[in-house]
């Protein structure tokens, strides 16, 4: 399975910046593909007092803005092109947006893919 197109889309939006003395972002980017084939992206935003959010969260917001909820694939990468696993909050967040999202493929390496349900065992919603 080839995920290069998603990784390329994520790489396009990586843009590390310091916004203020308390906020920076863009060091991590995520791209997700929906069941209809559209791709949405997002960047992380890090702020003091933990008010920021993850790139996966931002990509989901971009998707929801366009009226979609069903994710089939997702990737997150850092500035060096390393694949990153979604944090526990994002795993839960994405799983709540659509019941079918537990079957989304999360890319954690060139040959390392997992279903979201494998990364979120003992789901309280089931
Ligand atoms: Zn997260």
- CATH at residue 14: 3.40.140.10
Q: Helix 88-97 crosses helix 55-65 at what angle (to 10 degrees)? A: 20
Residue 124 lies in a domain: no
Question: 61: domain range?
Answer: 4-119
pLDDT confidence of residue 1: 59
Burial of 27 per CB tally in 10 Å (0-12, 13-18, 19+): middle
Residue 125 lies in a domain: no
Taking only the tens of pLDDT, the chain with its 126 residues reads 578 999 999 999 999 999 999 999 999 999 999 999 999 999 999 999 989 999 999 999 999 999 999 999 999 999 999 999 999 999 999 999 999 999 999 999 888 999 999 999 999 998
CA 28, CA 60: separation in Å to the nearest integer? 14
pLDDT confidence of residue 78: 97
Residues whose Cβ atom is located within 5 A of ion ligand 1: 54, 87, 90
The structural domain count of the chain equals 1
CA of 55 to the centre of ligand 1 (A): 7
CA of 116 to the centre of ligand 1 (A): 13
């Amino acid at each position: 399975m080839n995920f290069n197109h998603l990784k390329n889309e994520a790489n396009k939006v990586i843009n590390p910046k310091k916004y203020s003395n308390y906020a920076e972002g863009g060091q991590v980017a995520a791209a997700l593909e929906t069941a209809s084939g559209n791709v949405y992206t997002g960047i992380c935003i890090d702020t003091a007092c933990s008010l920021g959010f993850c790139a996966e969260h931002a990509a989901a917001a971009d998707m929801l803005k366009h009226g979609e909820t069903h994710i089939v694939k997702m990737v997150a990468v850092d500035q060096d092109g390393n694949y990153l696993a979604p944090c526990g909050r994002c795993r839960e967040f994405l799983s709540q947006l659509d019941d079918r999202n537990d079957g989304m493929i999360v890319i954690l390496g060139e040959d390392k893919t997992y279903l979201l349900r494998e990364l979120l065992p003992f789901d309280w919603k089931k």
